[in-house]
Amino acid sequence: MACPLLVSLTARADQPVTLSPAKTAATAGLVDIRTLVPDIAEDIKYAGHDNFVGAPVDGYLAPKCLLKRPVAEALARVEHDLRKQHQRLKLWDCYRPARAVAHFVRWAHDLSDTHTRAEHYPRLDKRVLLGDYIAPISGHSRGGTADLTMEQCNAQGSHCRELDMGTHFDFFDVRAHTEAPDVTPAQHANRLRLRTAMEREGFRNYPLEWWHYTWADEPTPNTIYDVPVK
């Protein structure tokens, strides 16, 4: 996750992170995944109230999935491959403006606001969320990362349902680790099915979050963006 105007921290290979001056998605090279897969399933959590902050997040003016074009194209290939097995992806978050990450950091510092604890971090003190779960720079702000799950559909490709992964999205707990030992064998197998499908197109999983995938060959690995999602 990333704060706006932070240029001194590092992203990958100890290279300085820079904030792009881009003001629009087009100038940032971000495209809507639905220009490639018009009917991909989406539930963009940070555009509404159903998230760990409990409110729409700064920078999300519309429930859209934006990504750098090569990343969107790779994700579209994952989706098309899955449909051959009557499966689909469901997207929860993609590109994330730097101002949204700053919103998360402010929320994490407000220790009086714990109204989402029961659902999102029941076994953790809010003070420990900064770090592994909420950081001042996010790969999402580079446009190369997506949070998602997998659905199983009927033979007609309709009536899809999410696979049981053992936790919901943004569950801050060791049970959300991709290789968590305290999920059922079926839940673990579903996580591996998702990981296998994503890895075939060059995406890599963040081990602490089974839903979090970054394209390995990011177009701008040391540049973050702050254009709004709209």
Terminal-to-terminal C-alpha distance of the chain: 19
Cα 105 to chain centroid distance, Å, stands at 16
Whether 209 sits among the annotated catalytic residues: the reply is yes
Instruction: Report the b/e string of 22-37 with b at 16+ CB within 10 A.
Output: eeebeebbbbbbbebb
Residues contacting 85, CB < 8 A, separation 6+: none
Pick the catalytic residue from 42, 79, 201, 209: 209
**Structure token pair of residue 182:** 């305290």
CA dist., res. 126 & res. 96, Å (int): 22
Handedness of CA 127, 132, 133, 135 (dihedral sign): positive
Contact 124, 172 (CB under 8 A): yes
Catalytically annotated residues:
209
